[in-house]
Amino acid sequence: MARIDWSILSGPRVSRRTLIALAAASGAAGYASRLAAAPLPTARFTNLKAAQGEPVTGGTLNLGFGISQIPNLDPAKVNLGIVAGELVSNLFSSLVQFDEQLGLVPDLAETWTVSEDGLVYTFTLRDGLTFHNGDPLQAADIVYTYERTVDPDFASPHANKLALIEAVDTPDDLTVEFTLSAPFAPFMAVAASRGPGRALTPIPQRAFEEMGEEQYDQTPVGCGPFAIVPETADLSSGFELTAFENWYAGRPFLDSINVTIIAEPSSRISALEAGDVDMLDIIPAIGVEQILGNPDFTVVQTPGTSWNGLAMNYARPPWDNPEARMAVAKAIDRQALIDTALFGLANPSIGAIAPAFAWAYIPPEEQETPQAFNLEEARALAESAGIVGQAPTIMATTDTQRTAEVLRNQLSEIGLDVQFEQLQQAAWNERWTAGDFDWITNGSVADADPDDGHWNFFYSEGPWNTHGYNNPEIDELLEATRATGDQEERAALFQEIQAILQVDVPYAFLHHTIDTTGFHSDVQGYLPVPEMRYMEHVWLDR
């Protein structure tokens, strides 16, 4: 049986039926029976202090951030989920934010209403809001942000989330009203939320125009609980964030956060153990067991909203041939890949519906999966498609190197001589968005709704559909998921989409990761919102 800690999946967005089925299918009958009677926790905390006192104000948190380079911090341009969920969400507030169950709660908007026909969204802002530079934040700033995001010259990858807006009105300085041309069910989650919904994350017009786009990318002026210290900003090494005294919910407990970029996974683990950093944004899979066994650290694990897969570029034959792509998909032993590359800390994926979205998720063993591992069929398809002897290159980063190496070994079984090219994150990001690759392992992270992980990658004009997938039927189904507010209908549509994607193989789906963060046990107050890092609650017990 695979070593899977099932309790880390026990969250309010993961159905009891799903967990029992997963446990039983993996031979964990004892856990399955306990699960049937036990309540599901929001998140798993390991080594959490039994008694926490009153929060203390002050101190600096040293945060190790797992990336080689951050391309930019402008919310309307950010296309990396970990940057959006873990950094942008601290620099910028938005109209709404998430609770621990991924429910929407107030942020800059104190209240809101939605018309019965689902076409008019009216937000009432809190009084007295300000940006980090002292400029007031009012309804006009939301309008400016909207106009900037949809400006074709600005070319925001998030403009599609605002495409149905046909009018924006500001009855007064604290009220902004969006009128849509058609219902858009995930509008608030994917367009107006703190972190993932960065299409409407407000920015100050004066600061953007005075600084210019290039400088704003590096040292943005936001309205969140922390502000960046411009003179410390180097997006290849790190920067300092300071508590924003005038944040609407009150000054954060921490004085500051020092963000240090640490690209190499084992170096992150060493930095945490040595005390060079107090917290890792994500514990690399290679070190989770090691940190779990140390009583000096707290580890928090929640169901993830993410999916990951192998994309094969349609613009580079023979990967435009569905038979060739299916040969690759069927040659991948996903559980072996998870056990070897990710130390068991993920779940096999058959599509882009993550386990955290339990209202739409169905586990692999409950449905037909054409991409399922079958080496005999994969070899036959590889021969038929004429790909034996091909030498595609997987473009990867330090964090995806182990996955790429396992894939290379597995795919040699069907006669492929897979090559490996490791790049820094910024270079990888530039080539991915330009479609300049043979293969990549990629996916969606820090999603607010399944719409995030589907529209961006599989809609024919999706901003991250750089692999060249185009299926008019999928376009129609995706449009339908946005048009209905009925959750059961949306779930059925996403499941229909998933079935088609399984056959078309725009991605060979690999796994769903488990959101795992960790910190020294004197770090207190962490709020476990899946794949978000809302740091205003954190304080230091020193």
> The tokens of 526 are what?
């962490």
pLDDT of the residue at 42? 53
Residue 141, helix vs strand vs coil:
helix
Please state the separation of Cα 451 from the chain's center in Å: 12
pLDDT of the residue at 364? 87
pLDDT of the residue at 49? 66
Return the biggest CA–CA distance within the chain.
67
| Spatial distance between the Cα atoms of 329 and 346, rounded to a whole number of angstroms | 18
| Spatial distance between the Cα atoms of 60 and 260, rounded to a whole number of angstroms | 13
pLDDT of the residue at 45? 80
Of 144, 244, 146, nearest to 198 by C-alpha is 146
| Spatial distance between the Cα atoms of 542 and 72, rounded to a whole number of angstroms | 33
Could you tell me if 427 and 354 are in contact, meaning their C-beta atoms sit under 8 angstroms apart? no
pLDDT of the residue at 392? 98
Structural domains in the chain, CATH included, are: 1-41 (no CATH), 48-66+225-302+516-542 (3.40.190.10), 73-215 (3.90.76.10), 307-513 (3.10.105.10)
Of 221, 209, 184, nearest to 75 by C-alpha is 221
pLDDT of the residue at 120? 98
The kind and range of the H/E element at 241 are strand 238-243
What does each of the 542 residues of the chain score in pLDDT, given as a tens digit?
222 332 333 333 333 333 333 333 333 333 233 333 333 345 778 876 655 679 999 999 999 999 999 999 999 999 999 999 999 999 999 999 999 989 999 999 999 999 999 999 999 999 999 999 999 999 999 999 999 999 999 999 999 999 999 999 999 999 999 999 999 999 999 999 999 999 999 999 999 999 999 999 999 999 999 999 999 999 999 999 999 999 999 999 999 999 999 999 999 999 999 999 999 999 999 999 999 999 999 999 988 899 999 999 999 999 999 999 999 999 999 999 999 999 999 999 999 999 889 899 998 888 889 999 999 999 999 999 999 999 999 999 988 999 999 999 999 999 999 999 999 988 999 999 999 999 999 999 999 999 999 999 999 999 999 999 999 999 999 999 999 989 999 999 999 999 999 999 999 999 999 999 999 999 999 999 999 999 999 999 98
Could you tell me if 76 and 200 are in contact, meaning their C-beta atoms sit under 8 angstroms apart? no
CB neighbours of residue 152 within 10 Å = 7
For 324, list phi and psi in degrees, rounded to 5.
-65, -45
Could you tell me if 406 and 341 are in contact, meaning their C-beta atoms sit under 8 angstroms apart? yes
The kind and range of the H/E element at 533 are none
> The tokens of 300 are what?
């928090």
pTM: 0.86
pLDDT of the residue at 50? 54
pLDDT of the residue at 43? 77
pLDDT of the residue at 460? 98
> What's the start-to-end Cα distance of the chain, in Å?
42
Dihedral of the CA atoms 310, 316, 318, 322 (nearest 10)?
50
pLDDT of the residue at 31? 29
Q: What is the 3-state secondary structure (H, E, C) of 289-316?
A: HHHHCCCCEEEEEECCCCEEEEEECCCC
| Spatial distance between the Cα atoms of 284 and 281, rounded to a whole number of angstroms | 9
| Spatial distance between the Cα atoms of 102 and 259, rounded to a whole number of angstroms | 25
| Spatial distance between the Cα atoms of 527 and 55, rounded to a whole number of angstroms | 13
Could you tell me if 187 and 180 are in contact, meaning their C-beta atoms sit under 8 angstroms apart? yes
